[in-house]
Chains A and B, each alone.
Chain A
Amino acid sequence: MHCFRRYHPITKIAYFAVLFAIAMFSENPLIRVLSLAGALAALAAGGSSFKRLLKIAAGGVITVLVMGPVNCIIFHEGRTVLFRVFGAAVTAEAFLYGLSAGVMIVGTAVWCIFLTDETDSEDLVFTLGRVLPGVSAVITVTLRYIPEIIKKYRETLAAQRMVGIFDGKKFFVRAVVATKVFMSVTERSVENAMDTAFIMRARGYGLRRRVSASYKKWREEDTVMTLLTVTGAAAFAFGEISGLLGFTYYPAAEFGSVSLSAAALAMVCALFFALPALTALDGRIRWQKSFKSRT
């Protein structure tokens, strides 16, 4: 279930901009862990298969485990010296920083997977269409051509294979044939493009006062999500400026503040990260309720 696809592109842009700002720029390991947990929950609630989640988790664990020692090799700051390698100190603080950076990288990467799942080309064209209409038109035409080019390439290659051009040939010869096919597709596409250009011009392309349309409409739930996004952004900004959500790694690892207000701000951030998963859950409950009421 794509829980975020139904939102308006502006709502999505606002949410993801704040999300990436918090996930990438916060130095606090607690916020980084919450971000990673939220990202994994979003993917799971979004209907990702167990196999996919396992694959992502395995890659994530490896990254986090590699980052700790790598940071120790490069940075030697920190009070707690664990041991020395060729005279250089390997410190617990550098190790913690590496692990924390690893969690941030994995968290951001998982959010990027979620972003890719939940956005489509319509969002891109809608967003750019207002600011860069010309570039947006180019993107629209490009999106029309990509599947056509891939399909034509595969068809031509299959035809070449059927007439036995690849039979018993070495890799280099095959590569040359594949490139020739790619070139023939290129020539065809370029010529078709010129015909398209004539048609576009005949239909008034390039005239002023162009209009654009999108099937995405602003709804009540977009207002709610935007308000929640603003709340999350404000909480994080307040936490960073006041130092409540701060964290220092060197010379000794410590939280900016261990207080009730810091915990409350962390809780708000946690809820912000959990929004996609909660949205998906809400959608699922509503669906089941409506299904039951019908049967």
Chain B
Amino acid sequence: MVAGMSLKRIFAYIAIVLLIPAIIVVFAAVLPKSLFMPVAVLIALTAVLAFMLGFEKEADNASKAVLVAVFTALSVAGRVVFAATPGFKPVFSIAIFAGIYLGGEAGFLVGALTALISNFVFGQGAWTIFQMFSWGLIGLAAGLLAPLLRKSKVALCIAGALAGPLFSLIIDVWSTVWIYGTFSLKTYLATTLASLPFTILHAISNVVFLLLLAEPMRKAMARVTVKYALMTSGESLKRRSKI
């Protein structure tokens, strides 16, 4: 069991995560050009809704629901407070912390809801679905790697540094389809190269925020754990759902 999830569930998530890019690549080869964009949007939307439905049962646990709400609110507030520095925001790091301390599904929800809610300020669009999916995936991955990320700061920094490019690579699929109307390796590489400065900035900001926030966040969660008789992992929160 990792961060409150059964092995079966972890395998299901890994399968989904691997299946989605595979479906997109297959569709890119098979589908007519005009149908590719709506299908890509539908796939991302379905994935986001599937993860949200997965969280529905856990949302009955008041403490977990409220903690997810607080992490999301912190992430949205962080995005707003750091609005003046494009690409340099604590969104990734808070999704990662949510994944580590509340579990992968909660991490996914924090990432996804951050995109959905903060885009009421930064602008809604079809990209919102891809942002939700990408940030959510980062939170989910952090939940799956929680035992490792909790122990080692180096692993945490590596995860943060990799989260930036992962986000860009997923978003660039959408950007490519949106700009060029179709998906090919050539157009995808052109889009990826154009967004390279932001990708690097994302990676740097993630490492900075993770390093700055790791210890205080650990202390905050430890304090809450003791004060409210909770344990730090999502698994424990689930077990003690009576609170």
Minimum CB distance partner of B187 in chain A: A74
Q: Which of A80-88, A177-185, A269-277 contacts B (4 or more CB under 8 A)?
A: A177-185
In the complex, what residue of chain A is closest to B53 when comparing beta carbons?
A: A132
Q: How many Å lie between the Cα of A182 and that of B109 in the bound state? A: 21
Considering only CB atoms, which chain A residue lies closest to B97 in the complex?
A186
* Contact (A153, B81) CB under 8 Å given A105-B178, A187-B223: yes
Known: A108-B126, A142-B69. A134 touches B77 (CB 8 A): no
Cβ-defined contact, A116 with B228, below 8 A: no
Structural contact, A138 and B213, CB atoms closer than 8 A: no
* CB–CB B66/A153 < 8 A: no
A176 and B220 alpha carbons, distance in the complex (Å): 17
Whether B60 contacts A134 by the Cβ 8 Å rule is yes
A132, A146, A185: most-surrounded residue (chain B CB, <10 A): A146
Q: Are A179 and B124 in contact (CB under 8 A)?
A: no
- Given A134-B58, A149-B77: A194 and B53 interface contact (C-beta under 8 Å): no
| B124 pairs with A112, CB closer than 8 A | yes
Q: What is the CB-to-nearest-CB distance from B184 to chain A, in angstroms, rounded to a whole number?
A: 9
Which residues of the other chain, A, contact B38 by a CB distance below 8 angstroms? Answer: 21, 25
Q: Do A124 and B37 have beta carbons less than 8 Å apart?
A: no
Q: Nearest chain A CB to B183's CB is how many angstroms away?
A: 13
Q: Confirm or deny: B78 has a beta carbon within 8 angstroms of a beta carbon on chain A.
A: yes
A197 within 8 A of B: yes
Residue in A124, A150, A200 whose beta carbon sits within 8 Å of that of B116 in the complex = A124
In the bound assembly, the distance between CA atoms of A187 and B80 in angstroms comes to: 19
Q: Is the beta-carbon distance between B179 and A186 smaller than 8 angstroms?
A: no
Task: Check B76–A142 contact: CB distance below 8 A.
Answer: yes
Q: How far is the CB of B188 from chain A (nearest CB, A)?
A: 11
Q: State in angstroms the CA–CA spacing of A3 and B29 once bound together.
A: 43
Alpha-carbon distance A109/B127, docked complex (angstroms): 10
Nearest neighbor of B241 in chain A, beta-carbon distance: A206
Contacts A124-B116, A189-B70 hold; do A194 and B63 have CB atoms under 8 A apart?
Answer: yes
Contact B77 A101 (CB under 8 A): no
A116 in complex: contacting residue of B124, B190, B212, B220, CB < 8 Å: B124
Distance in angstroms from B209 CB to nearest chain A CB is 8
Which residues from chain B contact A259 at a C-beta distance below 8 Å? none
Most-contacted residue by chain B among A150, A179, A194, A205 (CB, 10 A): A194
- State the CA gap A190–B80 with chains docked (Å): 19
B 195-243 contacts with A by CB, 8 A: 209, 212-213, 216-217, 219-221, 223-224, 227-228, 230, 243
Is A201 located at the chain interface by the 8 A CB criterion? Answer: yes
B63 near A141 (CB under 8 angstroms)? Answer: no
> Considering the complex, which residues of chain A in the window 93-142 have a beta carbon less than 8 Å from any beta carbon of chain B?
101, 105, 108-109, 112-113, 115-116, 119-121, 124, 132-135, 137-139, 141-142
Complex Cα gap A124–B118 (Å)? 12
- Minimal beta-carbon separation of B242 from chain A (angstroms): 9
Residues of A within 8 A of B80 (CB): 146, 150
Known: A134-B65, A142-B72. A176 touches B212 (CB 8 A): yes
Chain A binding surface SS class: helix
Q: Which residues of A contact B67 (CB under 8 A)?
A: 190, 193-194, 197
Contact with A along B70-96 (1 / 0, CB 8 A): 101110111011000000001000000
A191 to B228, CA, bound (A): 9
Write out the residue numbers on chain B whose beta carbons fall within 8 Å of the beta carbon of A135.
Answer: 52, 55-56, 59, 109, 113
What distance in Å separates the Cβ of A15 from its nearest Cβ neighbour in chain B? 14
CB-based contact A189/B63 at 8 Å:
no
Interfacial chain A residues near B119, Cβ < 8 Å = 116
| Given contacts A74-B190, A135-B52, A187-B220, A179 and B212 within 8 Å (CB-CB) | yes
Asked whether A190 and B220 contact (CB < 8 A) given A135-B109, A142-B76, the answer is yes
Q: A105-B179, A189-B74, A190-B220 are in contact. Are A205 and B109 (CB under 8 A)?
A: no
Q: Report chain B residues within 8 Å CB of A149.
A: 73-74, 77
Are A141 and B66 touching (Cβ within 8 A)? yes
Q: How far is the CB of B48 from chain A (nearest CB, A)?
A: 10
Are the C-beta atoms of B52 and A190 separated by less than 8 Å? no
A interface, CB within 8 angstroms of B: 20-21, 24-25, 27, 67, 71, 74, 101, 105, 108-109, 112-113, 115-116, 119-121, 124, 132-135, 137-139, 141-143, 145-146, 148-150, 153, 176, 179-180, 182-183, 185-187, 189-194, 196-198, 200-201, 205-206
- Nearest 8 A/B pairs, CB to CB: A134-B59, A145-B73, A141-B69, A183-B216, A112-B125, A206-B60, A197-B63, A197-B62
Q: 5 more A-B contacts (CB under 8 A) besides A138-B113, A141-B65, A183-B213?
A: A74-B186, A124-B120, A132-B52, A145-B73, A193-B66
Q: Can you name 27 A-B residue pairings with CB atoms under 8 Å?
A: A74-B187, A108-B126, A112-B124, A120-B120, A121-B117, A124-B117, A124-B120, A134-B57, A134-B65, A135-B113, A138-B109, A138-B113, A142-B70, A183-B213, A186-B216, A186-B217, A187-B219, A189-B73, A190-B224, A191-B223, A193-B67, A194-B67, A194-B224, A197-B65, A197-B243, A201-B243, A205-B65
